[in-house]
Amino acid sequence: MPGTLVFLEHHEGELVKSSLGVLSKAAALGGDVAGVVAGSSVRDLAGQAGEYGASRVYVADDPALEAPLPQPRVDVLAALVRDKGFDTVLFGQSVLAADLASGLAARLDAGLNWDLTDIALEDGKLVGKRPALTDSVLVDVGWKSTPRLALFRTGSFEPAATGGNAELEDVAVQLEAHSTGAVMLEQAHEERSGPSIEDADVIVAGGRGLGKPEGFGMIEELAKALGGAVGATRAVVDAGWYPYPTQVGQTGKTVSPKLYIACGISGAIQHKVGMQGSGTIVAINKDPNAPIFEFCDIGVVGDVNEVVPKLTELVRARKA
């Protein structure tokens, strides 16, 4: 895969898992793969990317890049692509990456394929794989010109630490006047003790079958015992039972943890498309005819109020 650049997003002092996964995938396809880290005091972070397959990491380190705003990063990536001649630029899905990828596509007049779940070299050509028709088919997508830009769904690839070293190269940060128009006035951080829903290996999700908002207490307990994150259906976030960022599904997040435990969730198609890529799906539902039993790996017909606390107890006992 010649001339590939991967945008390495960072959050709270760490490179995020989805962009490391994209980097590992690009490296596995072969060729020369570079990464770019943009931010303030990010040089140490950049070095970590070598482990995941980057031969070189461009470091754009400038206080002007401290806030996670897309336009200054468009300037950095556009200059890199022009100066170094990258023909492919890859991103792992996030709000910032989506804004950046679309801004870069406009700036470079380049084609962007988004929502991809895989990429392959077929007869020497790059082919993106994109789920369509509510994820019932996988279509091949391509690019008519270079640079080719691609944005991948969260969890499409696992980061693979191969133990390499990346050369670091500082890049000059020159921002366009119009790129500095937006300023970050305030940043709120969600209080969280476990992993984020995007990064978690285990997600315990709750639906309307929990009966009331307080039902999420036992979901949190189970998630904590398993070291996982909490997810929710749209029905419950719309009802104000749990925060919107936890919504999984068509209009929420697409997740693919190793284990997804659906508690009191019917398994509507709009929920299914957001979690069907999970490794093992466990469903707990009192209705044996609930649609979720048609696509889960392990189904428990029972009341969540009885099954979930017992499961938490068992997990805790095992861990002890």
Ligand X SMILES: Cc1cc2nc3c(=O)[nH]c(=O)nc-3n(C[C@H](O)[C@H](O)[C@H](O)COP(=O)(O)OP(=O)(O)OC[C@H]3O[C@@H](n4cnc5c(N)ncnc54)[C@H](O)[C@@H]3O)c2cc1C
The footprint of ligand X (CB under 6 A) covers 207-209, 211, 233-236, 247-252, 264-266, 268, 270-271, 274, 284-287, 290, 303-305
Alpha-helical regions (H) of 52-126: 70-84, 95-108
Which run of H or of E encompasses 311? helix 304-319
Question: What is the Rg, in whole angstroms, of the alpha carbon atoms belonging to the chain?
Answer: 21
Kindly tell me which of 76 and 263 has the beta carbon lying closer to ligand X: 263
C-beta of 267: minimal distance to ligand X in Å?
7
Whether 233 and 208 have beta carbons less than 8 Å apart is answered as: yes
Kindly tell me which of 25 and 271 has the beta carbon lying closer to ligand X: 271
Cis ω before 147 (30° cut-off from 0): yes
310: number of Cβ within 10 Å: 10
Which run of H or of E encompasses 319? helix 304-319
C-beta of 289: minimal distance to ligand X in Å?
8
Kindly tell me which of 158 and 306 has the beta carbon lying closer to ligand X: 306
C-beta of 318: minimal distance to ligand X in Å?
23
Kindly tell me which of 166 and 292 has the beta carbon lying closer to ligand X: 292
For the sheet with 33-39, list strands across it. Answer: 111-116, 148-152, 88-92, 4-7, 33-39, 56-61, 167-170
- The amino acid at 187: Q
Name the residue whose CB lies closest to ligand X: 249
Strand 10-11 and strand 14-15: the pairing is antiparallel
C-beta of 227: minimal distance to ligand X in Å?
23
C-beta of 134: minimal distance to ligand X in Å?
10
Kindly tell me which of 46 and 248 has the beta carbon lying closer to ligand X: 248
